[in-house]
């Protein structure tokens, strides 16, 4: 297979393929993280090749276009989730699998790092495994367990684990056309018959979890995320902690420059500004925070939202209610989306950052960036957010969804200057980009060695990685791309 697919390490670097939903400059935490990783890999002599979605209107579905983004080769597949005829289509998209394999046939890759499979389908993992690709996968959210992505139900309840009856009801409410009553095909991911919506949901989850057996490494950004996947049946030993990284010195210096260049003389006396960074989803708890803000006895407090006004699976009510609160209270300001290059300016304008999320956050990049900038944080007790607040040493940890608790937290922040100063002075314990990339590089090398029996030629290749001679002798030959595509 190898030569036909262009495999082979060039020089002292790796060719790494990224498969992901979006790519910079698309907004989002995953997009920010993957662009940072690509830059850091390039600095170490590696080459990153990206396959992402193109959701723009007017493009022929499944057509591809190529571009260079900040020196990275990016190919985008046009797709707008237009052709789902059954819930199974969410995880099994054969046309998208062929696009993935076509991209792989034309792009040299020593290892493929999958970041997100929405649009491509979880079946892309099996397609790549069938042709013998060394695979690593990062689990940035819960899409492999929940088609809504966040284990957050249509009725505003966070799920602890997938449960077929609840999932079936939630999916039918979210996408009526994917329910059997709505005319969806009664088939599973591999064409199996399904009885009802609960059965369809169970088969969807079972298929995706089975696909998680295929990557050699599964990376999760936090212990909290690890526990969610374990509760869904993924073996704990398969889930390797791989925290995100922040270029702390660079960000801190950029924020300080902004603070010096933009004095706060235009603020009313004593005004404090709390920022919320990210999409205005119901799962992010933005409406609970805004309601608590209007009830808090803190007249000198201001609440600034920075993030795109996207609907979360058709939820218009959250955005409508948030805009209504902003119209009725001038201290609530909706600034819209911002580019990540503007982050230093945004952070320099704030006195704290809040993350009132109602779902089990897998990491919480924005609040950790706030901590690097010396800002206190106010976070919910969901997922990995409490870690960013150092359990309360760097801010307040508040019960998710409790408007009265958030009201009290806002009042405490506004009135307790000593606490604000203490929280701001707490150390920001974040991971360096160098440490992250070294972990990824080791994962890539170990995966390549285990899969192919070849040691990549790297300047700093991990010397402890042994060639698996037994696996070399017993490995079954993999199917070629062309034989898989044409069924030969």
Answer yes or no: is pLDDT of 473 > 50. no
Query: Is the pLDDT reported for residue 310 higher than 90?
Result: no
- Mean pLDDT calculated for residue range 205-220: 98
Flag whether pLDDT at 1 surpasses 60.
Answer: no
The structure tokens listed for 486 are: 């044409």
Fold match, 3-245+433-486 / 249-425: yes
Q: What is the pTM of this model?
A: 0.91
Closest CA to 81 of 63, 98, 61: 61
- Please state, in angstroms and rounded to a whole number, the distance separating the CA atoms of residues 448 and 453: 7
Pick from 136-140, 246-250, 300-304, 455-459: least confident: 455-459
Residue 314 is predicted with a pLDDT of: 81
Average pLDDT over residues 293-301: 97
What span, in angstroms and rounded, lies between the C-alpha atoms of 246 and 306?
Answer: 20
Render 71-116 in DSSP notation, one character per residue: TEEEEEEE--S----SGGGGT--HHHHHHHHHHHHHS--SEEEE--
Pairing of strands 72-78, 64-69: antiparallel
DSSP string, 340-367: GGGHHHHHHT-SEEEE--SS--S--HHH
How confident is the model over 221-265, as pLDDT tens digits?
999 999 999 999 999 999 999 999 999 999 999 999 999 998 766
pLDDT tens, 47-72?
Answer: 999 999 999 999 999 999 999 998 89
What is the per-residue pLDDT for 196?
97
**249-425 topology per CATH:** Rossmann fold (3.40.50)
CATH topology of domain 3-245+433-486: Rossmann fold (3.40.50)
What number of CA atoms fall less than 13 Å from residue 112's CA on the CB side? 29
Instruction: Tell me if residue 398 falls in helix, strand or coil.
Output: strand
Sheet of 239-241: strand order equals 64-69, 72-78, 47-54, 15-19, 111-114, 135-138, 217-220, 239-241
Name the more confident of 267 and 34. Answer: 34
Cα–Cα distance for residue pair 64/119, rounded to 1 Å: 14
Tens digit of pLDDT for each residue in 418-465?
999 999 999 999 999 999 999 999 999 999 999 999 888 775 555 445
pLDDT at 481 (0 to 100)? 41
Q: What is the structure's pLDDT at 2? A: 35
pLDDT higher than 60, residue 484: no
As a whole number of angstroms, the distance between CA 377 and CA 373 comes to 11
Of 12-26, 145-159, 464-478, minimum mean pLDDT range: 464-478
283-294 residue pLDDT tens = 999 999 999 999
pLDDT in tens, 13-46: 999 999 999 998 888 889 999 999 999 999 999 9
pLDDT of residue 269: 76
Structural domain boundaries in the chain: 3-245+433-486, 249-425
pLDDT of residue 476: 41
CB 367 within 8 A of CB 384: no
């Amino acid at each position: 297979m190898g030569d036909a697919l262009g495999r082979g390490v060039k020089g002292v670097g790796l060719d790494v393929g990224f498969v992901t939903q979006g790519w910079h400059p698309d907004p989002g935490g995953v997009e920010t993280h993957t662009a940072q990783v690509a830059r850091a890999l390039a600095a170490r002599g590696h080459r990153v090749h990206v396959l992402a979605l193109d959701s723009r209107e007017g493009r022929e579905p499944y057509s591809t276009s190529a571009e260079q983004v900040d020196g990275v080769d990016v190919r985008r597949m046009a797709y707008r989730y237009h052709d789902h005829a059954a819930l199974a289509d969410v995880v099994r998209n054969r046309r998208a699998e062929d696009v993935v394999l076509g991209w792989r046939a034309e792009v040299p890759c020593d290892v493929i790092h999958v970041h997100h499979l929405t649009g491509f389908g979880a079946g892309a993992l099996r397609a790549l495994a069938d042709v013998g690709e060394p695979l690593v996968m990062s689990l940035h959210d819960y899409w492999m367990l929940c088609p809504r992505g966040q284990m957050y139900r249509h009725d505003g309840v966070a799920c602890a684990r997938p449960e077929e009856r609840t999932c079936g009801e939630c999916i039918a409410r979210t996408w009526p056309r994917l329910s059997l009553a709505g005319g969806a095909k009664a088939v599973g991911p591999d064409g199996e018959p399904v009885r009802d919506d609960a059965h369809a949901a169970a088969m969807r989850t079972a298929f995706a979890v089975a696909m998680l057996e295929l990557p050699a490494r599964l990376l999760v950004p936090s212990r909290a995320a690890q526990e969610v996947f374990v509760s869904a049946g993924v073996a704990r030993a398969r889930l390797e902690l791989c925290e995100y990284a922040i270029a702390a010195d660079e960000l801190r210096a950029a924020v300080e420059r902004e603070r010096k260049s933009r004095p706060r003389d235009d603020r009313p006396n004593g005004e404090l500004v709390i920022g919320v960074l990210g999409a205005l989803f119901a799962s992010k708890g933005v409406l609970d925070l805004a309601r608590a803000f209007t009830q808090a006895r803190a007249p000198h407090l201001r609440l600034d939202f920075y993030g795109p006004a996207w609907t979360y699976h058709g939820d218009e009510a959250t955005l409508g209610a948030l805009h209504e609160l902003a119209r009725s209270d001038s201290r609530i300001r909706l600034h819209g989306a911002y580019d990540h290059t503007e982050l230093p300016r945004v952070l320099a304008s704030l006195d704290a950052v809040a993350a009132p999320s109602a779902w089990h956050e897998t990491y919480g990049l924005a609040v950790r960036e706030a901590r690097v900038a010396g800002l206190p944080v106010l976070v919910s007790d969901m997922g990995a957010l409490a870690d960013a607040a150092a359990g309360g040493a760097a801010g307040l940890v508040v019960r998710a969804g409790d408007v009265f608790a958030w009201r009290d937290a806002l009042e405490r922040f506004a009135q307790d200057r000593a606490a604000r100063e203490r929280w701001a002075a707490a150390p920001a314990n974040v991971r360096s980009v160098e440490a992250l990339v070294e972990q990824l590089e080791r994962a890539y090398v170990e995966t390549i060695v285990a899969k192919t029996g070849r040691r990549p030629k790297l300047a700093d290749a991990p010397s402890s990685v042994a060639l698996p001679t037994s696996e070399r002798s017993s490995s079954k030959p993999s199917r070629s791309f062309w034989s898989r595509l044409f069924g030969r």
